[in-house]
Amino acid sequence: MDYSWSVWKTEQIGWIGTGVMGQSMAGHLIKAGGSLWVYNRTPEKAASLMKMGAKWVDSPKEMARECGLIFTMVGFPKDVEEVYWGENGIFAGVKPGTTLIDMTSTSPTLAQRIFIDAGRLGAQAIDAPVTGGDVGARNATLSILCGGKPEVVEQVRPVLEWMGKNIIYQGPAGSGQHAKIANQLVVAGTMIGVCEALVYAGKAGLNLDAVLASIRPGAAGCWTLDNLAPRIIQGNFEPGFYVDHFVKDLGLALSECEKMGITLPGLTLAHRLYREVQNQGMGNKGTHSLYKVLSNWKES
């Protein structure tokens, strides 16, 4: 069967999780002509999608009874477990032949559990976490890191292409989550460097806009300098990606490292620093809020 977008447009598509990124991503599917059903723990956060034409359902179980393709993008592993295995979860109502795509950043082990239990119920599942932040979500330019059966990834590629421009198969179930953890390690190290550079430049009495204009085109150039450094300079620390979620991701990375028997000092430092950001009450701010901690950092 040719799984083109024209075929998927005739399918009932479900979306669970309409947060900072999920709302934009689901909106692209509606704009493309998809028939979308939505569920979110806080119904008000799905209001804009319903104004665009999405249909509301009262539970993941009800969605699973109606939809042949379901996306989930929630906050934490415990939320994923509730959405899939809860009394009113997806697995309580899923139909054989349904395709499940978890885009939450979660553990590889949890992705493997979803894959196995979906198969037992005659459904199929892939893990497909994303990177690119709120900017990538709004502009449909996300990188999507896919784990599971390669043929299932190819089937849903026409749908994923409405949300991302870099869709790459990583390997068996859980591999997408492993790749996302690798991504977060790069993000963590880069964020520390960017924030420390701005703290240093500021203490040296330099004009931060001038510094940024000078270093962005050079060897230091990166996504964080392009998208988050300007927000730091403007004093805008609203989330493109929540600190609370980033601490969760770094914790997952530490857990996987322990299983593998490896030690990553940079990861350990980043986790410590971001726990301090949380401790200072900025868990619901963007990851670039690290700058505010480093500006006043004193080694204990």
Can you name the residues that pair with 35 across neighbouring β-strands?
12
Show the tokens assigned to 156: 């849903």
Q: What are the two backbone dihedrals, phi and then psi, of residue 15, each rounded to the nearest 5 degrees?
A: -135, 125
Instruction: Give the separation between CA 67 and CA 35, rounded to whole angstroms.
Output: 10
Instruction: Give the separation between CA 15 and CA 162, rounded to whole angstroms.
Output: 14
- Provide the annotated active-site residues: 180
Instruction: Give the separation between CA 144 and CA 160, rounded to whole angstroms.
Output: 8
CA–CA distances in Å: residue 73 to residues 24, 44, 101, 202, 279: 12, 16, 9, 38, 26
CA–CA distances in Å: residue 250 to residues 23, 184, 259: 24, 7, 14
CB 286 within 8 A of CB 238: yes
Can you name the residues that pair with 242 across neighbouring β-strands?
286
